[in-house]
């Protein structure tokens, strides 16, 4: 179903594949949602099957379906937060579902930006399932009209190249800075994966770079530095490019490289940040199933979504306790 009131494809049917009646899986607790019901859920999934702007190897357009499949089979229980519940699925952005090959990347960005704005307008917290990193601009830009915004990017790269012609997966943070982004921090950046010019650009804009080495040495201290970078903003957006993980954990990305975060480091760091009640959105981008090995990357990305959702559950429980 798509149209003015529901600009998405029909959400898939969710089902937990386990035959054990005691196994509650995400497939049992994710249900179709609409813009009308989106604010009633802890979070809503939004698929963005697009990789027309990727700089490296394509394949991320198949990310949403793989992330949903792996998430559906995961158990809902987190030892610290308890079970996750009340998650909606809006479906995929209809305007780019199978039709983006005839569109310029700038047109795709504007189309997705309009849809993302409608999700935020409803008071919902979106979890965007990418798709390539170019859509980070579209997912974050509507928040810039609502107050000060900071982005924490979990990424091996800085993605702040200049737009030369059309936007790419390497330009979203340059675009966001030019649109008025207030704070920017990168977690898991890799040595020898960026140019000096771009590193200097980030620092010249007051950005914070926490390398993969620094995360590995002290994850809590790394989280503290990232939180400090977001201290003065009204809203925080978390972006996970799964190439932040070491290539052994995430081979199915556009540009896999060694020296990245472990899954355990990523999940801990993500949870430490996601409990902040200013977090307004989350995305998983650059998961490319055709490039994957044994579904490792999709499983790592799906578990990141699970950890994010469990952090929201814990946050909601704390706020309810305060009341």
Task: Provide mean pLDDT across the span 164-168.
Answer: 97
At 170-203, the pLDDT tens digits run: 999 999 999 999 999 999 999 999 999 999 999 9
What pLDDT was estimated at residue 6? 72
Cα 7–Cα 51–Cα 237 angle in degrees, nearest 5: 65
**In the predicted model, is pLDDT for residue 1 greater than 50?**
no
Beta-carbon neighbour count of residue 43 at 10 Å?
23
How confident is residue 2, by pLDDT bands cut at 50, 70 and 90?
very low
At 15-33, the pLDDT tens digits run: 999 999 999 999 999 999 9
Query: Domain 26-322 belongs to what architecture?
Result: 3-Layer(aba) Sandwich (3.40)
Task: Provide mean pLDDT across the span 47-63.
Answer: 96
Task: Provide mean pLDDT across the span 237-257.
Answer: 97
Averaged pLDDT score across all residues of the chain: 95
**In the predicted model, is pLDDT for residue 321 greater than 70?**
no
- Tokens 């089979």 correspond to what residue? 73
Q: How far is CA 27 from CA 10, 49, 87, 291, 300, in A?
A: 16, 20, 10, 25, 17
What pLDDT was estimated at residue 106? 97
At 147-157, the pLDDT tens digits run: 999 999 999 99
Burial of 85 (0-12, 13-18, 19+ CB in 10 A): middle
CA dihedral 250, 186, 262, 54 (to 10 degrees): 0
Domain boundaries, the chain: 26-322
pTM of the model: 0.96
Helix (H) or strand (E) holding 279: strand 279-285
At 205-222, the pLDDT tens digits run: 999 999 999 999 999 999
Share of the chain above pLDDT 70, in %: 96
At 78-128, the pLDDT tens digits run: 999 999 988 999 999 999 987 777 899 999 999 999 999 999 999 999 999
**In the predicted model, is pLDDT for residue 315 greater than 70?**
yes
Interstrand relation of 87-92 and 126-130 (parallel, antiparallel or unpaired): unpaired
Helix (H) or strand (E) holding 316: helix 296-322
At 265-301, the pLDDT tens digits run: 999 999 999 999 999 999 999 999 999 999 999 999 9
């Amino acid at each position: 179903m798509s149209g003015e009131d529901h600009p998405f494809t029909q959400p898939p049917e969710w089902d937990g594949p386990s035959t054990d009646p005691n196994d509650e899986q995400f497939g049992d607790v994710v249900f179709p949602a609409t813009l009308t019901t989106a604010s009633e859920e802890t979070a809503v999934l939004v698929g963005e099957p697009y990789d027309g702007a990727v700089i490296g190897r394509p394949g991320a357009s198949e990310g949403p379906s793989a992330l949903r499949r792996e998430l559906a089979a995961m158990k809902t229980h987190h030892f610290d937060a308890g079970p996750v519940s009340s998650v909606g699925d809006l479906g995929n952005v209809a305007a780019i579902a199978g039709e983006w090959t005839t569109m310029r990347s700038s047109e795709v960005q504007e189309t997705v930006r309009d849809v993302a704005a409608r999700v935020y307008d409803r008071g919902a917290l979106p979890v965007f399932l990418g798709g390539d990193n170019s859509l980070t601009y579209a997912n974050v830009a509507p928040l810039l009209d609502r107050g000060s915004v900071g982005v924490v990017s979990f990424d091996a790269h800085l993605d702040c190249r200049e737009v030369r012609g059309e936007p790419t997966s390497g330009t979203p943070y340059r675009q966001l800075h030019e649109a008025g982004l207030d704070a920017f921090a990168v977690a898991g950046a890799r040595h020898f994966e960026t140019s000096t010019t771009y590193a200097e650009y980030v620092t010249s804009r007051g950005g914070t770079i926490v390398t993969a080495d620094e995360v590995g040495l002290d994850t809590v201290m790394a989280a503290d530095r990232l939180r400090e970078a977001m201290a003065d903003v009204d809203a925080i957006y978390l972006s996970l490019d799964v190439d932040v993980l070491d290539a052994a954990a995430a081979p199915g990305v556009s540009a896999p490289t060694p020296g990245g975060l472990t899954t355990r480091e990523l999940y801990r760091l993500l949870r430490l940040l996601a409990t902040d009640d200013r977090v307004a959105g989350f995305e998983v981008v650059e998961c490319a199933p055709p490039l994957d090995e044994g579904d490792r990357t999709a499983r790592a990305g799906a578990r990141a979504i699970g950890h994010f959702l469990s952090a929201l559950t814990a946050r909601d429980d704390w706020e309810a306790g305060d009341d």
